[in-house]
Amino acid sequence: MNNYATKEYCSLMVVNVGELALKLKNRGWFEDKLINNIRANVQEFNVASIERLYGRIVLRFREPHSVESLKNKLCRIFGVASIAPAVVAGTALANIEETVISCLEGRPVQTFAIRAKRIEKTLPYRSQEVNERIGRAVLSKFKDAKVDLDNPQLTIGIDILSDACYIYLDKFKGAGGLPIGTGGKVLSLISGGIDSPVASWRMMRRGCLVSFIHFHSMPFTDSASIEKVNEICKILSEWQGSKARLIMIPFGNIQKKIVTAANEKYRIILYRRFMMRIAEALAHKLEAEALITGEALGQVASQTLSNIATVGSSVSIPILRPLIGMDKQEIVDLAKIVGTYELSIEPHQDCCQFLEPRHPVTYTTLHELAEAEASQNFKKETTERPDRVLGDEWADWSGEFGKDVDSGAGLFLLFSFVVVLLIDLALFGFYYLALPRLAEFHHLLPSAVVSLILVWVGLSGILVLQLLLTVLSGRNLFFFQKGAFILFDLVFTRVFKLAKLIGITRDKMGHSFVLVSNAVVRAVSRKMANKKLMILLPRCLTKETLQEVYKLKEHYPVEIFTVSGGELARKRVKEVMPSAIIGIACERDLVSGIRDVGNKIPVIGLPNTRPNGPCKDTLIDVEELKKAVEFYLGGD
């Protein structure tokens, strides 16, 4: 049944494309995108064909489907201006008249209007002639009916093409705008409030494929904002037609540092500048071309014109603010249409309310903020290590979910050898260039210098060779206990700088370093009888994984701590003073921890896997963890 339409069921749907019809040379590309989006959204229906016809898209189904079900799907697809369940007739006026009367069977007709459009201009009649003839036929069939062109109870639509005519009695407004994917990729800073979901929706409506980034203050606040944002993103994903990426950023530690380092009145602006920088770094990873915020001019203290400019100046990527000229009621009304309003008004503490200043500044200049961020106290507090700025745990993320760092121990070993070789060459180069001058100072000085260089070359070469053989054999082949850590101190910084120079990420090199360090620890360390073993876990592990790890305490004499970062981990180590440590974290935190305590306390590092990106619902191979525990406690 391929030509059937009632108020409840239809086998054919006409989709009007609205502004896409104005796109001229690019129109085909926009309509192809829309057709692909429609096809993806109606897979559950038995679709026979999808056809593009004169600014319309016609969907034919192999069997009738519920109009309500189709409306719920199609009217949420951006680029769809309206939809109409329709039947097909021939282009002859008699055939059109017969089909219209047939469609009206069983329908109450009180007041009506005919809206005919003759798309094919070569037909031997005009649109007005169709309006008049079909109108007379309806009046003849329904004696009590009246024509009302201004506010009819029933509108009969007739679209006449070259070889067919589409007739419809019901027409439903669609989402409008442009098809998702035509506006590029963007990253939205989303909170649990009313504004940012609406801002995201408005940019989806302009064809943008939106990913989301949410800054939260756990564990200093509850998880309400995280739970809300998850639910809000599910609603927005329905509008987008596919599951949107949602990235959770723990922001509480950064806020604490800013509170310690900066003037209270600047807190909110500094929070937002840090958020923008982190979001910009992630946008580059996701190939997003712009950021989205829910800012509306003058709505809160941070959204004055000067503050918006100051926050925006912290990044070079474009910032889209689709709500900038809207008042609150307009935004609320849109939130109700989108379906996020009821969720958004549920109480929660977002990261901007956490450690909020009593009197936030309403006017700032770039000079003021640059001075605040340039102060030594601010730099000290917002840098955990000389090479690590707060919030940079996402900087080396590939932008791909489910893809973890994968590099072997050989990478760090190779670069260690290359670094030592480059130092050797640099020393011999210095000797060659300085030789004439050295002899002028003392005739024995050249011999002394070359002797020192040869000693360095010999010792460094032996250390590299010992490290290589120790890793390969699993046996301790160092002549003295701290040999590996002396070599690490010599080459570590230079290895990472060289890797960066040729495009190898810190995480990839860090992963390799952790494997090398683990091999050295296993070769050097011995069984620990009646000594303290500490396991350090990150807060970002899934709840199920945390529970599984804590069950190890039932079988092994271990102390397990969940920590939110390197600072708290170092504090726990000082308090407990363990004999050995098993650390579970991302490569950056593991490298930092091994470098801090590895030459005093043996550390085995187990990198977590990150199917949802850094810092969210990470995983660990518990069997590998058990093996590490048994290595320490039971020998190997």
Task: Quote the pLDDT of residue 391.
Answer: 47
Across 40-69, average pLDDT:
88
Quickly tell me which residue has 């909020």 as its tokens: 356
pLDDT digits (tens, 9 = 90+) for 304-326: 899 899 899 889 999 999 999 99
Give 634 or 60, the one with higher predicted confidence. Answer: 60
Strand 388-389 to strand 319-320: parallel, antiparallel, or no bridges (unpaired)?
unpaired
**Lowest model confidence (mean pLDDT) among 66-80, 183-197, 321-335, 498-512:** 498-512
387 class by beta-carbon count within 10 Å (0-12 exposed, 13-18 middle, 19+ buried): middle
Q: How far apart are CA 187 and CA 209, in angstroms?
A: 9
pLDDT digits (tens, 9 = 90+) for 344-366: 888 766 655 556 666 777 888 88
Please determine, for residue 1, whether its predicted confidence score (pLDDT) is greater than 60: no
Task: Quote the pLDDT of residue 4.
Answer: 62
Task: Quote the pLDDT of residue 116.
Answer: 92
Task: Quote the pLDDT of residue 3.
Answer: 64
Q: How far apart are CA 308 and CA 349, in angstroms?
A: 22
Q: ∠ CA 15-20-23 to the nearest 5 degrees?
A: 150
pLDDT digits (tens, 9 = 90+) for 126-155: 999 999 999 999 999 998 899 999 999 999
525 — pLDDT class (breaks 50, 70, 90) = confident
Please determine, for residue 570, whether its predicted confidence score (pLDDT) is greater than 60: yes
pLDDT digits (tens, 9 = 90+) for 399-434: 454 455 667 888 888 988 998 898 888 888 887 777
Count other C-beta atoms under 10 Å from residue 327's C-beta. Answer: 12
192 — pLDDT class (breaks 50, 70, 90) = confident
Percent of the chain with pLDDT over 70: 89
Please, what is the average pLDDT of the chain?
84
Percent of the chain with pLDDT over 90: 28
Give 198 or 594, the one with higher predicted confidence. Answer: 198
Task: Quote the pLDDT of residue 334.
Answer: 94
Up-side HSE of residue 62: CA atoms within 13 Å toward CB?
7
Strand 165-168 to strand 82-89: parallel, antiparallel, or no bridges (unpaired)?
antiparallel
| Closest-CA residue to 493 (of 635, 385, 571, 335) | 385
99 — pLDDT class (breaks 50, 70, 90) = very high
Across 580-594, average pLDDT:
86
Task: Quote the pLDDT of residue 591.
Answer: 86
Task: Quote the pLDDT of residue 196.
Answer: 94
Quickly tell me which residue has 């003392």 as its tokens: 442
Q: pTM for the full model?
A: 0.66
Q: How far apart are CA 541 and CA 141, in angstroms?
A: 71
Task: Quote the pLDDT of residue 369.
Answer: 81
Task: Quote the pLDDT of residue 185.
Answer: 94
| 579 secondary structure, DSSP code | S
pLDDT digits (tens, 9 = 90+) for 231-286: 999 999 999 988 888 888 888 777 777 877 777 788 888 888 888 988 998 888 88
Q: Which residues contact 156 (CB under 8 A, 6 or more apart)?
A: 100, 104, 112, 113, 114, 115, 134, 138, 167, 168, 169
Give 291 or 241, the one with higher predicted confidence. Answer: 291
pLDDT digits (tens, 9 = 90+) for 490-499: 888 888 888 8
